[in-house]
Structure 1
């Protein structure tokens, strides 16, 4: 097999870009997972706040917007559901977006919810959030599981 010098040069030049992209994706995933652990599981707003960018746009229509809105949500969790815990089952990254597939249980002994959280990052900081929340049924119509 023969390669042109131009093709070889292009491949060599692209390799650092691919490595940089991979490093950014991994850093973004780490940021979101740490944010989730500090905020949602430890219910520690101050520890989670360092992961925010200059703004936090909330796309969940039932949640208050902004960083202060997130602070109110953490206060609500701490007061109403102190034992709540979210287990991250899968983490995906695509460019500036990180997607989590989560099993969230607010009260011990309940089935909880399957959640997909989508975070947008800018310069390594969280600036937007979307989520989709689905209760885990008592009986499923199939044997595949939600996770």
Structure 2
């Protein structure tokens, strides 16, 4: 029994989680897909250009945005109407297997400080199927001098 335990301990360093087992090339492809989607959707507000990056379904976790691909189309219509000049600048992008995480500076109206956003996308077969986000207003004054970006 002791030799089995020692043998199992010996192989533990070689066990890899499914997320970290992803090929670097597929992670790069996932990043590229999300970056192109984000520009088409959030900056150009072009649903047709963005829609090609969706998988067969789209699960939305933001409680203020409607679910599904049609819900995302509705959200883009809202942006186009209410904030036609809004821009999102991606500051950082990370990939971990089928997940792509963006750190974004979003400005809906020119001359405002905007918002810091962390977007998390899950992809299946290189297509976006799920989204979460966390949004924080950029304050006028911060308790430190580190900045949000």
Cα displacement (A) at 1:134: 0.1
- Deviation string for 1:1-43 (max 9, x for gaps)? xxxxxxxxxxxxxxxxx9x701000000000000000000000
Which segments of structure 1 move beyond 4 Å, counting only runs of 4 or more?
A: none
Alignment of 1:53-68 (within 5 A): 53-68=55-70
The alignment yields a C-alpha RMSD, in angstroms, of 1.3
Cα displacement (A) at 1:48: 0.1
* Count of residues in correspondence between the two structures: 130
- Deviation string for 1:113-138 (max 9, x for gaps)? 00000000000000000000000000
Alignment of 1:54-133 (within 5 A): 54-133=56-135
- In the alignment, is residue 139 of structure 1 matched against residue 141 of structure 2? yes
- In the alignment, is residue 27 of structure 1 matched against residue 33 of structure 2? no
Tell me, which stretches of 5 or more residues in structure 2 are unaligned?
Answer: 1-19
Q: TM-score, normalised by structure 2?
A: 0.85
For the residues of structure 2 that align with 1:78 and 1:31, how far apart are their CA atoms?
A: 22
Q: TM-score, normalised by structure 1?
A: 0.86
